[in-house]
Homo-oligomer: A and B are copies of this chain.
Amino acid sequence: MARDDRHLELDRQLCFALYAASRAIVRAYDPLLAPLGVTYPQYLALLVLWESDDISVGALGDRLALDSATLTPLLKRLEQQGLVARRRKPEDERVVLISLTARGRALRAKAREIPSELACRAGFDLEDPRAVARLEALREELADLARRLG
């Protein structure tokens, strides 16, 4: 293989690893989320809302790095499930505020065990400080990477 083609190999390994790992995580989550009746992106939106309820579509999009083209239909599906409510902000009718319903808030309890269950399936021992540190280092590097590319 020509010298210049090396990177077409090497690179596939790196960027592809990220792409494949991301899809593997989503696939691993889906069966755990199925009992809640939500998808992985919907779950991410709920995580944000469980932390800060009653925020705008834009603010939610900033947190998730998703735009309204993706969020609007996703939130409508969550609305149809009765998990969130959508209303215009009185002071600025351009803004749509998303708030959790009682059912949406209640779902948090059912979601509580999911992360540790997944960590377990991925072979991480959350009792082991070294494993936790490795997880956090990995997370930091990925967040860094995304920041530099964003």
A141 within 8 A of B: yes
A36 within 8 A of B: no
Question: In the complex where A4-B112, A5-B108, A112-B4 touch, is A146 in contact with B12 (Cβ < 8 A)?
Answer: no
Chain B nearest CB from A33 CB (Å) reads 12
Q: How large is the interface on A (under 10, 10 to 19, 20 to 34, 35 or more residues)?
A: 35 or more
Please report the C-alpha to C-alpha distance between residue A43 and residue B11 in the assembled complex, in whole angstroms: 12
Chain B nearest CB from A23 CB (Å) reads 7
Tell me whether B139 and A7 are in contact (CB under 8 A): no
Note all chain B residues with C-beta closer than 8 A to A108.
5, 8
Tell me whether A142 and B12 are in contact (CB under 8 A): no
A102 within 8 A of B: no
Question: Which residue of B8, B28, B47, B115 contacts A50 across the interface (Cβ within 8 Å)?
Answer: B8
